[in-house]
């Protein structure tokens, strides 16, 4: 009986450790701690690159720096699967597209943030919640 208990407890303890470990990684992955959720920044942005990848999409933009040059800014978006189900596709934004982009900026001051909304020159609104509003 003692051998049965000993041979059962080891694997159960390992399984419990793995479950707790994976749960903490999952919770950490979905943290918004890096973003200043109480602040918004509006950028006049030109699409530079689209990364339609898991676990989150990333969009890169050229943004005027106010001194005649350009800076590269990034915006994290939802997962491709989430966006696909809501009418987006990897071709929704193309290099060169112009947007008025609103983000929650990074707390550490990096030139990046979490996509909130964007407006095209024709009035189309692109929400990262998946909605697309035609002008």
27-85 pLDDT, tens digit each: 445 677 999 999 999 999 999 999 999 999 999 999 999 999 999 999 999 999 999 99
Residue 113: which CATH number?
A: 2.40.50
Instruction: Inform me whether the pLDDT recorded for 12 exceeds 60.
Output: no
Q: For residue 125, what pLDDT band results from cuts at 50, 70 and 90?
A: very high
DSSP conformational letter for 134: -
| Judgement on whether residues 23 and 88 belong to the same structural domain of the protein | no
Query: Could you tell me if 46 and 109 lie in one domain?
Result: yes
The answer to whether position 94 is within a domain reads yes
Residue 108 has pLDDT above 60, yes or no: yes
Element (H, E) at 4: helix 2-29
Same domain assignment for residues 27 and 56: no
- State which residues form the domain around 81: 41-133
| Number of structural domains found in the chain | 2
**Phi, psi values for residue 79, rounded to 5°:** -70, 155
Average pLDDT over all residues of the chain = 83
* Whether residue 60 is found in the same domain as residue 123: yes
Residue 11 shares a structural domain with residue 50: no
pTM, two decimal places: 0.74
Q: What pLDDT is attached to residue 16? A: 41
Amino acid 14: pLDDT: 43
Rounded distance between C-alpha atoms, residue 92 and residue 24, angstroms? 34
pLDDT of residue 8: 58
């Amino acid at each position: 009986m003692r051998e049965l208990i000993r041979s059962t407890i080891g694997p159960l303890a390992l399984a419990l450790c793995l479950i707790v470990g994976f749960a903490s990684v999952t919770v950490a992955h979905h943290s918004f701690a890096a973003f200043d959720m109480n602040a918004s920044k509006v950028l006049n942005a030109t699409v530079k690159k689209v990364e339609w990848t898991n676990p989150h999409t990333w969009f890169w933009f050229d943004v005027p720096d106010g001194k005649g040059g350009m800076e590269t800014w990034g915006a994290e978006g939802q997962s491709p699967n989430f966006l696909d189900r809501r009418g987006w596709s990897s071709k929704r934004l193309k290099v060169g597209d112009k947007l008025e982009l609103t983000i929650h900026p990074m707390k550490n001051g990096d030139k990046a943030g979490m996509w909130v909304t964007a407006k095209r020159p024709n009035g189309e609104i692109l929400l990262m919640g998946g909605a697309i509003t035609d002008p």
